Amino acid sequence: MAHVDTMPTAPGDVLAQGRLQKSIATTLLVIAAARAERQAAPIHAARQRLAEVYGATRLRRRLERETAAG
């Protein structure tokens, strides 16, 4: 968890610092879960396939434009 170097000066600051630390921890957990999900085999394969299709589509469109332009 992240550590804040400044010391709280009022009781409200302690609560705010605690909420900030919890928010940071939650955000890091969400990022870790998303990265793990993205690396899962079925999802990774699907993302790779979409990238291939997208690349092929861009290439086809570029070739069509170049052919039309002469």
pTM for the model stands at: 0.47
- C-beta of residue 4 within 8 angstroms of C-beta of residue 20: yes
Q: Crossing angle, helix 11-39 and helix 41-69, to 10 degrees?
A: 70
Per-residue pLDDT tens digits for 24-33: 999 999 999 9
- Mean pLDDT throughout 48-61? 96
Give the pLDDT score at 9: 66
Question: How far out from the chain centre does Cα 43 lie?
Answer: 14
